[in-house]
Structure 1
Amino acid sequence: MASLFDAARACLDADTPEAKLALTAQAAADFADGVFATLEDERAPEPIRMPGRPPRPRLVHPRELPRRGFGSNEGRAAFIHAVAHIEFNAIDLAWDAVYRFRHFPADYYRDWVGVAADEARHFAMLRERLREFGHDYGDFDAHNGLWEMAEKTAHDALARMALVPRVLEARGLDVTPGMIEKLRALGDDKTAEILVVILREEVAHVAAGSRWYRWCCEFHGIEPRAKFRELLAEYARPVLHGPFNLEARSAAGFDEEELASLQQLDAKHP
């Protein structure tokens, strides 16, 4: 394909895990090899829509998802499936960040193509582990919260960078260390090690969101800290929960004032 945006659209449209992973790997390799002659495209992106998905998992409201503990193999398989579903969504989120927002510096596209490739690798590792538990992707219900935020921010790259990487994906920085600890306590070091890899690489993904959020603010002459507080209050109250992994968030580009704002909003909305 001559256009990175066409490649991103093809990855978004792919409706099986196998096709999405294969097209993502090819597009990332083509980008690294300089196959895409230009990163300019005067065509407007299509209106946002649901990306290609397999018929399963069934998407339900988060309240309809049963709460399962880690103590049984079935419970652990459901947990691995939930994380795999997040990573599958994250592939689409990264490609939509490439496809939807035009006329950015080349480093912007380099960052999000790299994120898409990472998320695809994370999904593949989790799917392999899920199969070792006798299940596959689609065997458990899931929810669509990540993509719903993509729809809400399709009009504005600044809002997308603030709310998807720096709120929803950053949530993984907060909760994953506890998950790793629980898995190790159960003797499931294999799943724990997959999460260690994901946690380490997600710091860089959230950092990319921080970098391009601030770039957007500077481009538009907006003060980033006040704008972040405004966006948190408008969009993120239902999904904002402490405690926060302050060390990981700091490494991912949150400054002290932003971390304080998160904690204040959390305290106001228990």
Structure 2
Amino acid sequence: MPSLVDSAVQILEAADPQDKIALTHAAAEAWRQRAIPVLGTRRPPMRPARPARPELLRPGDMPKRRLGGEAGRIALLHALAHIELNAIDLSWDLIARFATAETPRGFFDDWVKVADEEALHHDLLSRRLRELGSSYGALPAHDGLWQAAEETAEDFLGRLSVVPLVLEARGLDVTPETVERLERAGDPDSARILQRIYTDEIGHVGAGRRWFEWECAREGRPPVPIYHALVRRYFRAKLKRPFNVPARDLAGFAAAFYEPLAD
């Protein structure tokens, strides 16, 4: 079995989503069993491998999506499946790109767990799409999700500030309403999947906050103003209200971080 970092690079280079999922679960289990070392010899690619489909468009070129009707729910689930596929790679890229001999084991415990859960999320959504007569790749998807990774490829705190602490935190804000809309639309199976994703991602935001604060403490820098500066540098937009304060509080993500950046 290759090292954790080498496994992460192998997963990033796997184009087929099912291969990516299987390799993720295998690497996560090996890590939990303490069967592999951390560091290796390989470096992550700037962009992960992707299947031939879905067609990737610029965000502004994506068709508008409405939840009404089965077609709307399929479009929603497809978009979420694409987000979760990117989330698998974002977790492994964080490990592969920023691992050092001094990084605490707890960091890898957290992010391997995150990657393993993101793989489960993508698989659940893909299975649900097939149950509805569609599949991942049947619709276009936008290619803006990896931009944050490219822009923070050399900035550990920047990566944490934008990916878990802006993008995933935003998921905490919007997912409960989406769950309710799916239930009202008579689709409890899809609603249960989103509820599972929502519950797991409270932990993902918590991991982002924990390691952001750890790195700030290690560098002797105040976390809240550093977060503000990095979000303004890399996200370059106001954060959207309303915030799901109870979920953010469960993640230990205090309002002092995000409220001053809101519209």
Tell me by how many angstroms 1:240 deviates: 2.8
Aligned partners of 1:214 and 1:224 also within 8 Å? yes
Residue equivalent to 2:228: 229
After TM superposition, the runs of 4+ consecutive aligned structure 1 residues lying more than 6 A away are none
Alignment partners' CA distance in 1, 2:49 and 2:58 = 19
Matched residue type, 1:266: A
Structure 1: runs of 5+ lacking an equivalent: none
Alignment partners' CA distance in 1, 2:201 and 2:46 = 25
Alignment partners' CA distance in 1, 2:227 and 2:235 = 10
Tell me by how many angstroms 1:44 deviates: 7.3
Residue equivalent to 2:105: 106
Number of equivalenced pairs: 261
Aligned partners of 1:246 and 1:259 also within 8 Å? no
Which digits, 9 at most, give the CA deviation of each residue in 1:152-179, with x for residues without a partner?
A: 1110111111111001111110110110
Matched residue type, 1:30: A
Matched residue type, 1:118: E
Alignment partners' CA distance in 1, 2:3 and 2:163 = 25
Matched residue type, 1:205: H
Residue equivalent to 1:27: 27
Q: Higher mean Cα deviation, 194-203 or 139-148?
A: 139-148
Alignment partners' CA distance in 2, 1:57 and 1:238 = 27
Aligned partners of 1:204 and 1:252 also within 8 Å? yes
Tell me by how many angstroms 1:101 deviates: 0.6
Which digits, 9 at most, give the CA deviation of each residue in 1:229-268, with x for residues without a partner?
A: 111222223373222111111211211311422xxx322x
Matched residue type, 1:105: P
Instruction: Confirm whether residue 95 of structure 1 aligns to residue 99 of structure 2.
Output: no
Residue equivalent to 1:218: 217
Alignment partners' CA distance in 2, 1:141 and 1:2 = 34
Secondary structure of the equivalent of 1:244?
Answer: coil
Tell me by how many angstroms 1:8 deviates: 0.6
Aligned partners of 1:93 and 1:150 also within 8 Å? yes
Aligned partners of 1:87 and 1:122 also within 8 Å? yes
Which digits, 9 at most, give the CA deviation of each residue in 1:56-100, with x for residues without a partner?
A: 111111111111221121111010000011101000000001111
Aligned partners of 2:158 and 2:231 also within 8 Å? no
**2:262 aligns with one of 230, 243, 266:** 266
Alignment partners' CA distance in 2, 1:175 and 1:99 = 30
Q: How does 1:138-153 map to 2 (within 5 A)?
A: 138-153=137-152
**2:59 aligns with one of 38, 59, 62:** 62
RMSD: 1.4
Alignment partners' CA distance in 1, 2:43 and 2:241 = 36
What percentage of aligned pairs have identical amino acids?
44
Alignment partners' CA distance in 2, 1:203 and 1:15 = 28
Alignment partners' CA distance in 2, 1:164 and 1:27 = 22
**1:82 aligns with one of 75, 79, 84:** 79
Alignment partners' CA distance in 2, 1:68 and 1:149 = 23
Alignment partners' CA distance in 1, 2:149 and 2:83 = 13
Structure 2: runs of 5+ lacking an equivalent: none
| Residues 134 and 239 (structure 1), Cα distance of their counterparts in 2 relative to 1, 3 Å cut | farther
Alignment partners' CA distance in 2, 1:186 and 1:9 = 40
Residue equivalent to 1:4: 4
Alignment partners' CA distance in 2, 1:79 and 1:232 = 27
Matched residue type, 1:28: A
Matched residue type, 1:95: W
Matched residue type, 1:29: E
Alignment partners' CA distance in 2, 1:163 and 1:177 = 21
Aligned partners of 2:57 and 2:140 also within 8 Å? yes
Instruction: Confirm whether residue 16 of structure 1 aligns to residue 16 of structure 2.
Output: yes
Aligned partners of 2:238 and 2:262 also within 8 Å? no
Alignment partners' CA distance in 2, 1:148 and 1:176 = 23
Residue equivalent to 1:136: 135
